[in-house]
Amino acid sequence: MDQTSDPLPAAIQLLCCLGCVLTIASAIAIAWIAIRSQRQHREAQAAAAWQGLQAAAQAAPEAHLCHVEQVYQRARRGSKAVIIWHATGQRQDTWFWYFLAEPGSTLLVSGATAYGPHNHNPYVLYVENGGVLASAPPGAEAAWYRLQATS
């Protein structure tokens, strides 16, 4: 008997193909939902970190917010970085004692400006151990604004 004239095997093949397509589509949909859920969770955590940083800033008026633009040296006793002051947009060379600054993060710091012998800069900010009062990871401010826009 010629199989091309029998419609049953063709129908079975079509059902098998449809089953495979539905299985793959379901797997993709589940993966997409899981990834989206993880991203929303990370966004919520980042936004909460930004809110916590803002609350800490209000509780410590002597401290100031800065954005870590670049970390150019990491050492056992701290890190050297270029920060941008949140209030003014001014850049400043900074030494963080016993703190490893993360590029892109926002910090609430208390420190003093003095001469920097490593680069002969008279305006280096020195942040002592414990001078980083609070921090938010890179992207936290943007996550907070995105969350506000969707609320």
- Cα three-residue angle 139-54-143, rounded to 5 degrees: 25
Residue 107 · residue 132 · CB < 8 Å: yes
The pTM of this model reads 0.73
- Residue 135 structure tokens: 């921090």
Phi, psi of 118 (to 5 degrees): -70, -25
Q: Which helix (H) or strand (E) holds 11?
A: helix 7-59
User: Which range, of 28-42, 53-67, 75-89, 118-132, averages the lowest pLDDT?
Assistant: 28-42
**How high is the pLDDT of residue 46?**
87
Over range 34-48, report the average pLDDT: 80
pLDDT digit string, tens, across residues 4-32: 566 667 667 777 777 777 777 676 777 67
What is the domain partition of the chain in residue ranges? 1-151
